[in-house]
Structure formats: structure tokens, C-alpha cells
Amino acid sequence: MRRPLSKSQIVCVSLLWLALCYLVLTKAERIDGMTIVMLVISAALVFIPVYKSIKKNK
């Protein structure tokens, strides 16, 4: 069984994901539907474990 993420790990993961989104959105020549879908999928893959970890820490 995995242990929950610490608060600092949650902050680091969130900041890294935000930095990735910033780079994708500023470097993309055009923001089409596929780019938005990729960002939504990456958000789900990042923030679902973070949400579960926060629930376990309470």
C-alpha cells in the first residue's frame, strides 16, 4: 500500500504541473482541442493521486 504524499510533495507536483502547462500554452503555435485534451488528461493523472493523498492525510 502506498503512503500518502506529504504537503511538500503535493506542492512540488502541483508547481511542476503548472510550469508544464505554462510552457505548453506559451510555446504552442496554436491551442487546439488536442492540446486542451492533453492538459486535462495530465491534470487528472496528477491531481487524482494528490486528492486521494489529501483525503488520507485528514
4, pLDDT greater than 80: no
pLDDT score at 14: 85
Tens digit of each residue's pLDDT (9 = 90 or more) over 30-41: 888 888 888 888
State the total domains in the chain. 1
13, pLDDT greater than 80: yes
Half-sphere exposure of 53 (CA within 13 A, CB side): 16
Compute the distance between CA of residue 52 and CA of residue 5 in angstroms, rounded to an integer: 9
Residue 24 domain flag: no
Amino acid, res. 36: I
Q: Which backbone phi and psi does 55 adopt, to 5 degrees? A: -65, -40
pLDDT score at 1: 54
Residue 43 domain flag: yes
pLDDT score at 42: 86
Residue 42 domain flag: yes
pLDDT score at 58: 66
The residue-averaged pLDDT of 16-35 equals 84
Quote the domain boundaries for residue 53.
30-57
Residue 47 domain flag: yes
Q: Which backbone phi and psi does 6 adopt, to 5 degrees? A: -80, 165
Residue 39 domain flag: yes
